[in-house]
Amino acid sequence: MTASTGTDRSTVTARLIEDVLAGDGWIHELRTGESLRIVDLYGNQAVDALFFDATDYSNRYSAVDTIREQGAVYLTTGSVLRALDGQPLLTVVADTCGRHDTLGGACSQESNVVRYGEHTRHMHACRNTFLALALASGRGLEKRDLGANVNFFMNVPVTPEGGLEFVDGISSAGKYVELRAERPTLVLISNCPQLNNPCNGYDPTPVRMIVWPA
């Protein structure tokens, strides 16, 4: 499998470039107007993300407000991610994948057991990564602060009955999504380690984070 880095925009002016290995986490604070690009280096990799107003961590990303205001359950170019106060937190300014999930949530050891069986209980999951990042951040974030998340590159169709299906992804090597911070925003990333459904093609791979200044 060959990585593709999605380098249509010069990285010379980037403030930060970091690769996140499969199953690892990443935490970073974006300043107002800065852009974060998440690159799916090898393709078919789910990237779970939590977002917080960096001036008030209780004012975090709201899936309800985001979905209601845009009238759609998937994110793509032009989508505005809203906080609990109803105001914009980030805007998707570029997207070469075309659809990102807002409903599937983050995998956990508990949900793995329910969906896939007791033998998966001790597999690492995104909730573990988020909690480790939160506790180690020194920002006073705890388990109760882990609310709704976005699953970038993850394909979760809604069934006619209103259920969710975790199916093969639609991303490929070098696809990316880019977000602009509309206010200071704390970003927590879990590069999903899930091995039990096709969201990662049963083979989790690294992704790249690129931050450009305002």
Q: So what's the pLDDT on residue 158?
A: 87
Q: What is the pLDDT of residue 19?
A: 98
* Domain chopping of the chain, boundaries: 22-212
The token pair that represents 99 in the structure block:
């659809």
Residue ranges of the chain whose pLDDT lies below 70: 1-2, 4-8
What's the confidence (pLDDT) of residue 60? 98
